[in-house]
Amino acid sequence: MNTKITLLLTLLFIGGNLGFAQQDEECMSKLSIFHEYWKAKNYEAAYQPWMDVRTKCPRFNIAIYSDGEDILEHKIEKSTGADKVAYINDLLKLWEQRAENFASKTPKGEYAAKGCQLMYEYRKELGKSKEELYQCFDAAYNLDKGTFTNPKSLYTYFSLMVDLYDAGKKPAKDLFNKYDDVVEKVEEEVKNYSGSLNKIIEKEEAGTELTKKEGKYKKYYESYLKAYDQISGSIDSKLGNRANCENLIPLYQKDFEENKANAVWLQRAAGKMSEKECTDDPLFFKLVNAYHELSPSANSAYYLGILKDKEGKQNEAIAFYQQAIDLETDSFKKSKLFNRIGLKLKAKGQYAKARNYFREALKANPSNGRPYLSIAAMYAASAKDCGDTNFNKRAVYWLAADEAAKAGRVDPTLKKAAAQSQASYKAKAPTKAEIFTEGNSGETIKIGCWIGASVTVPKI
């Protein structure tokens, strides 16, 4: 009896494996077929063999899901009515199946956000309300903030919050908190991509040729930095004047007692008031001092510097700014502090000191070209004061153009602005005819005053 049972189990095992092997062979064949069609972007021809593999062997290969995404997006684009809705829902289902069958290759926040974005883009077809869509994005963000990084989805998430606030469905507190959440997330991603790009820029600046792989990575990092720069502006535009002093001060005044021991709340409140130029109000003083007493940090020291600036105590302000820099250990944030201080000194006309801070900002984060543009602007503003002849005064614009060129070279978000600035400065520099008349083609001119630099006259 036992022998018969053993023999039966053996036959079932062999039969099962043969069936699986046949299925495996069929799936392999059809996967090869649909993948070739996918590579040729013939998504119509790819659809049926792809569906066969997806149905029979859902765990066979990740290409079922990566290729399938393009196939279904094509179907959505080419269909209408009920068919379009069916394909949209099937794409949502495909991402769920990917998570079930290839969990390690399906970041939760990323794919949850993709699903929300798809529903947002086809909200009319799916009959989704803004409340439902916001809840979808909020759930995705809280599910896995680390992989919720898509620039477009981050903007949509915040945009929906603003729309709900305008409709009276979300309070101001939620709006400002969500703004801080999204802005901090964007900054975190910019920091990550900047750090990766900095390594490549440092290699380039040292005169070392990039490998093909490094060149591809550079373009990849630059594309994301451009996208984050774009949505940063869009987020601020969407918020508009909703976060003005008239709205912020009563809100923070009302919540101060409840949050005076909450360092994160104090930092965000002080930061928002500083950003929106609400620093003349006594509440800012209250927030900053409470924050610094509770959690002395680079941010709190910086805000104390602002207070001292307001009081006209510049030396004390600089001391606090320097303290902020000393307390900051993160090079990305340190760069931002250097740049902020440089801008304050630039606004006061203290160009030499400002340039020192801008240069330190560049050392801490080489892929941020804004300090270069600030230095260029200061050079241009000093052209009339930093030369002993009219020709030499205008030669300062060559220095300004060089700084602007550096900004475009290292910062993908500034290529257009840097090129425009460079062209503008060059147009103000001596012409070829003037160089010929002066007879100093290729010579080096020393620029005095605070600039203290040399510039080579272009050869003609």
Q: CA quadruple 65, 66, 71, 74: dihedral positive or negative? A: positive
First vs last Cα of the chain: how many Å apart?
104
Determine whether 64 is exposed, middle or buried from the number of CB atoms within 10 Å of its CB (0-12, 13-18, 19+).
Answer: buried
- Summarised one tens digit per residue, pLDDT across range 152-195 is 999 999 999 999 999 999 999 999 999 999 999 999 999 999 99
In the numeric block, the tokens 């002849």 are attached to 389
Asked if pLDDT for residue 362 goes beyond 60, the answer is: yes
The pLDDT, as a whole number, for residue 41 is 97
Identify the DSSP state of 451: T
The pLDDT, as a whole number, for residue 257 is 95
Helices (H) and strands (E) in the chain, counts: 21, 2
CA distance 314 to 308: 7
- Summarised one tens digit per residue, pLDDT across range 117-158 is 999 999 999 999 999 999 999 999 999 999 999 999 999 999
pLDDT bracket for residue 387 (50, 70, 90): confident
Task: Please list, residue by residue across 263-284, b when 16 or more beta carbons sit within 10 angstroms of its beta carbon and e when fewer do.
Answer: eebbbbbbbbbbebebbeeebb
What is the three-class DSSP state of 447? strand
pLDDT bracket for residue 388 (50, 70, 90): confident
Query: What does the radius of gyration of the chain's CA atoms come to, in whole angstroms?
Result: 30
- Summarised one tens digit per residue, pLDDT across range 286-342 is 999 999 999 999 999 999 999 999 899 988 999 999 999 999 999 999 999 999 999
Question: Could you give the C-alpha distances from 341 to 305, 360, 371, 455, in angstroms and in order?
Answer: 10, 11, 11, 27
The pLDDT, as a whole number, for residue 24 is 82
Helix ranges, 206-297 (H): 212-239, 245-259, 263-275, 282-294
The pLDDT, as a whole number, for residue 7 is 36
Q: Taking the mean position of all CA atoms in its chain, how far away is CA 227?
A: 6
The pLDDT, as a whole number, for residue 23 is 55
In the numeric block, the tokens 């969407």 are attached to 238
CA distance 216 to 104: 25
- Summarised one tens digit per residue, pLDDT across range 33-59 is 999 999 999 999 999 999 999 999 999
Q: Compute the mean pLDDT over every residue in the chain, rounded to the nearest whole number.
A: 92
- Summarised one tens digit per residue, pLDDT across range 203-250 is 988 899 999 999 999 999 999 999 999 999 999 999 999 999 999 999
Q: Around Cβ 100, how many Cβ atoms within 10 Å?
A: 11
- Summarised one tens digit per residue, pLDDT across range 2-39 is 444 333 333 333 333 333 344 588 899 999 999 999 99
Q: CA quadruple 343, 345, 351, 356: dihedral positive or negative? A: negative
Q: Taking the mean position of all CA atoms in its chain, how far away is CA 121?
A: 22
CA angle 312–316–322, rounded 5-degree value: 125
The pLDDT, as a whole number, for residue 401 is 97
Q: Which amino acid is at 119?
A: M
Name 74's Cβ contacts closer than 8 Å, sequence gap at least 6.
Answer: 43, 44
Cβ atoms of 101 and 59 closer than 8 Å: yes
DSSP 379-393: HHHTTTTS-SSHHHH
- Summarised one tens digit per residue, pLDDT across range 76-117 is 999 999 999 999 999 999 999 999 999 999 999 999 999 999
The pLDDT, as a whole number, for residue 163 is 98
- Total-model pTM: 0.84
CA distance 176 to 251: 10
Average pLDDT over residues 347-375: 97
Cβ atoms of 357 and 342 closer than 8 Å: yes
Average pLDDT over residues 419-437: 96
